[in-house]
A and B are shown apart, each in its own frame.
Chain A
Amino acid sequence: MKLDNPGLGHSGFGHPGHTLGMPSTGTSRVPLLAPDAPAQTRKDFTSDQEVRWCPGCGDYAILATMQGFLPELGLRRENIVFISGIGCSSRFPYYLDTYGMHSIHGRAPSIATGLATSRPDLSVWVITGDGDALSIGGNHLIHALRRNINITILLFNNEIYGLTKGQYSPTSEQGKVTKSSPLGSVDTPFNPVSLALGAEATFVARTMDSDRAHLSGVLRAAAEHRGAALVEIYQNCPIFNDGAFDVLKDRAESQRRIFHLRAGEPISAGGQVVIRDTDNELRIVAEGEADPQRIVIHDPSAADPSTAFALSRLSESTLSHVPMGVFRSVSRPAYDDLVRGQVEMAVAQAGGPATDADLAALLGGHDTWTVGA
């Protein structure tokens, strides 16, 4: 499969004056391994802790892919930090031999914001789930995205609460029967991709636990992105919501259901293709019937997120049409770069770092008086 990495040049988004001198990739201020250091392997990223997810949990596959992917970044291991909230997926940091924090329910993006803003030399990852990110932590998620903090958020979506033993989540389909919804859930679910796009996210992608190649490709693009990256990962919970994504894992079914998003290419699956219809709506039609002029060519770097949003709305809870890949990847100055830029500019304009004498002048203010001597 092919995943482009668009949106890293000037997309016309943001103010050129702001982007000048700004780091261009997600890890561009993170120290690299010394050239003579031995190459990292999966083992370097495997902690000594016994992994304690349920047998068959999709988290195992994601962890294995992550451990296999991280050496590719070539970063110093000590400069990588994983921060998680609460939930099954949030145990993830314990199993990676990097720095890590298993925090509290929903709050990981805020903790990551404080860390990323004060430490440009770190590659900061947030591990969260559908309950953690979209329910109790919804506020922090949307604000991390609109600020465009340079962090990568991996949202493991299993459409269920696992750790509390099987209640419907904010992504569970309406009508879902669980222990807390014996007559079926009446909640309207969130579409995480739509939500992220609405929250001004600059990078939004969807992938799946079991597709190692696709997951690795999306992780690569997300890590490369400077700013907040939101990656929704469909993840199977074998205990409380088993098989939720099985139709996307079956070879034949997936071929007609998964619409791969590839920059510069039509969006198609199983002989169907996405077009922009005469009423300006996106529709899925048979390739043979599609007016070539109306076939949508995927452009994740489009400044206007409307098409990406429309693509995200093609998903249905029946999973009949599921776009996968990078919906949006545009360049906008990252919050933490701007914050540090203001501090650096203030320090530079004042002639360098403050001295004790500068501090004494601050304390004195404008109106001082002297007693004695």
Chain B
Amino acid sequence: MNKPVRQLDRVVIRFAGDSGDGMQLTGDRFTSDSAVAGHDLATLPNFPAEIRAPAGTLPGVSSFQLHFADHDVLTPGDAPDVLVAMNPAALKANLRDIPRGATIIVDTDEFSRRNLGKVGYAVSPLDDGSLESYHVHPLALTSLTVDSLASFELSRKDKERAKNMFALGLLSWLYTRPLESTEEFLRRKFATKPDILAANIAALHAGAHYGETTEDFAHTYAIAPATMREGTYRNITGNTALAYGLVVAARRAGLPLVLGSYPITPATDILHTLSGLKRFGVTTIQAEDEIAGVGMALGASFGGALGVTSTSGPGLALKAETIGLAVSLELPLVVVDVQRGGPSTGLPTKTEQADLLQAMFGRNGESPVAVIAPQSPVDCFDAAIEATRIATAYRTPVVLLSDGYLANGSEPWRLPEIADLPDLTVTFQTEPNAVDDLGAPVFHPYTRDPQTLARPWAVPGTAGLEHRIGGIEKADVTGVIAYDPDNHERMTHLRRDKVAGITASIPALEVDDPDGNARVLVLGWGSTYGPIHAAARSVRRHGMAVARAHLRHLNPFPSNLGEVLRSYERVIVPEMNLGQLALLLRAQFLVDVQSHTAVRGLPFTAGELADVVTAAIHALPEPAAEHAR
């Protein structure tokens, strides 16, 4: 009774429903199953800031998009092939993203007159012919679920709540997925609620059986595993990867990890994750406010720990003064900013890249800090290690700019060998480093390493190195209070040169220009990596040449950046802000980059960027003979 199987190379599915329908969980599970099936994948959770917006309304719609394929996946997909809509609101909120010809599965039980009315449908779109150009599967998911659980001693409400597992079972059948790992997950999740566990497993199987028996679906689909590098993999979100990166970095540095943090979307999962890692010696302090969070981190750094604070844009604004103190104290400090839409409260659950200039300049005085950004959820792990490396080696605050898309998005991660990760061993000062007028040994806290310009890290408890530091300008070398004009000039330059000098320890910017004949370069930073890379592939598939590069280090830039920018006739800089990197590039290199921006709370689509690149290529003048590259 097995139905015929059709082979596909890629699928984009979006699960959409009410905030309370369990769509994030359903998406997460389907993602894990896809990962275990060997597909490459990328995900895009999208949910409202309200915990439970009024049921059945447009503001309450939560969705989870998953792109999985038999090849290297770079984005969560521009447009879903399949939409699962658990109610009319979910259909209405998502329909404009669904291309004609796509498959739509709806729960008809929720298409009541009342629910239709809540979102302004006078007539059900299932009946008025407006969905004719889609493959619509109207299924009574809720009643099918409840019927399948007839033998369970549960309330109707509890039975209805399992409808997301019914839907997951159906989709798992449709895409030829085993159910075991979801069963195992449910057993962990509902370990203490055996009746709920049994109902969820029953609903999961009922969904799969329904697919097999109903005539609604004529065939199933299979996607071959992607060709991936040899190794052991797991699926991971950016926030989890970032938290793990901090733990590993602290271990590689030989330092205890201390996180001071105040809950804020979308960074809070970092606090949650690290709070659960006490077994790894991690200390977390949930602070009374954002300022205290960074103060605690800085206090811990003063004591010789790796002090970290995690936040989002509004929190970074509050931490500014303390970060300035860390600039003056020249102590290591890692500040994680998981960016969200701004200004002010803005779009707490949506993504944006508009804190770059705040990270660069959002403090009083000349107060340079290092700024880096991860490019994908998995890369959050490596970025955390790099932030720790710079912070400890240069005794400087480092702002790590993740964003909401990276934080909640996930992708397969090839697990690293711990021993292969960078050695970040820190050496504390243990001996005096100078002599006073009488020849007695003394400690001068603002002497500098000739290579890095870092000052010694001498922690309390070290005899003979007692010293005082503070936010008042300090005399070069001795660190005592100094208001002398020449000294301030010197110290200001030293602090700038120290951060600028980090360039010597970072790799040159690599340009992906396969044939070396591109005239247009797309330069990005942070989470735009996936869409830019996918756009470049698409443009190349159409026979055009385009170069691509991505910045991890925003301050300082890689040493060859100016040269790279000047090597192309046109440089396009896509950003989810109004052109902040573009501003920096123009200011520093006098190159008139083309800024392409969007602030819709969502990542770029590859298609949109491919169009921008294609238009730029077409707009190029005919190459003069002597200019041909």
Q: Which residues of A contact B (CB under 8 A)?
A: 47, 49, 76-81, 83, 86, 93-94, 96-104, 107, 110-119, 121-122, 139-140, 143, 339-340, 342-343, 345-347, 349-350, 353-354, 356, 358-360, 362-373
A107 to chain B, nearest CB (A): 5
Q: Which residues of B contact A49 (CB under 8 A)?
A: 468, 480-481
Q: Which residues of B contact A102 (CB under 8 A)?
A: 468-472
Q: Is the CB of A368 within 8 A of B234?
A: yes
Which residue of chain B has the shortest Cβ distance to A99 in the bound complex?
B460
Which residue of chain B has the shortest Cβ distance to A355 in the bound complex?
B418
B190 to chain A, nearest CB (A): 15
A196 to chain B, nearest CB (A): 16
| CA distance in complex: A93, B466 (Å) | 11
| CA distance in complex: A116, B329 (Å) | 18
| B299 CB within 8 Å of chain A | yes
Given A114-B260, A363-B244, residue A347 in contact with residue B299 (CB < 8 A): no
Given A117-B258, A358-B280, residue A99 in contact with residue B298 (CB < 8 A): no
Q: Is the CB of A354 within 8 A of B303?
A: no
Q: Is the CB of A110 within 8 A of B299?
A: yes
Interface residues on B, range: 35 or more
| B343 CB within 8 Å of chain A | no
Q: Which residues of A contact B56 (CB under 8 A)?
A: none
| CA distance in complex: A336, B192 (Å) | 33
Listed by A's residue number, 7 A-B pairs whose Cβ atoms lie within 8 Å are A86-B471, A96-B468, A101-B470, A110-B287, A110-B293, A371-B228, A373-B230
Q: Is the CB of B466 within 8 A of A98?
A: yes
| B95 CB within 8 Å of chain A | no
Residue-wise, chain B 414-451 has the 8 Å CB interface mask toward A (1 for contact) of 01111100000000000000000000000000000000
- Which chain B residues numbered 28 to 53 have a C-beta less than 8 Å away from chain A? 32, 35-36, 38
- Which chain B residues numbered 314 to 352 have a C-beta less than 8 Å away from chain A? 321-322, 324-325, 329
A38 to chain B, nearest CB (A): 14
| CA distance in complex: A122, B325 (Å) | 22
Q: Is the CB of A368 within 8 A of B415?
A: yes
- Tell me what chain B mostly uses at the interface: helix, strand, loop, or mixed: mixed
Q: Which residues of B contact A (CB under 8 A)?
A: 32, 35-36, 38, 181, 184-185, 188, 225, 228-236, 244, 247-248, 251, 256, 258, 260, 277-283, 285, 287-289, 291-293, 295-305, 307, 321-322, 324-325, 329, 415-419, 460-472, 480-481
| CA distance in complex: A102, B322 (Å) | 12
A90 to chain B, nearest CB (A): 9
A-B contact sample (20 more), CB < 8 A, given A47-B468, A78-B466, A354-B251? A78-B462, A94-B481, A101-B329, A101-B470, A102-B471, A102-B472, A111-B295, A114-B285, A114-B296, A115-B299, A122-B460, A346-B278, A347-B281, A359-B418, A363-B244, A363-B416, A368-B415, A369-B38, A370-B232, A372-B229
Q: Which residues of A contact B277 (CB under 8 A)?
A: 362
Q: Is the CB of A107 within 8 A of B232?
A: no
Which residue of chain A has the shortest Cβ distance to B329 in the bound complex?
A101
Q: Is the CB of B283 within 8 A of A118?
A: yes
| CA distance in complex: A61, B97 (Å) | 73
B404 to chain A, nearest CB (A): 22
Q: Which residues of B contact A104 (CB under 8 A)?
A: 321-322, 324-325, 471
| CA distance in complex: A222, B28 (Å) | 53
Given A368-B232, A369-B38, residue A118 in contact with residue B329 (CB < 8 A): no
Which residue of chain B has the shortest Cβ distance to A348 in the bound complex?
B279
A94 to chain B, nearest CB (A): 5
Q: Which of B288, B418, B462 gathers most chain A CB within 10 Å?
A: B288
Q: Which residues of B contact A139 (CB under 8 A)?
A: 288-289, 292
Name the contact of A111 in the complex, choosing from B36, B256, B296, B304 (C-beta under 8 A).
Answer: B296
Q: Is the CB of A140 within 8 A of B292?
A: yes
B412 to chain A, nearest CB (A): 9
A207 to chain B, nearest CB (A): 25
Shortest beta-carbon contacts, A-B, top 5: A102-B470, A114-B299, A110-B295, A372-B230, A114-B296
Q: Which residues of B contact A112 (CB under 8 A)?
A: 299
Q: Which residues of B contact A79 (CB under 8 A)?
A: 460-461
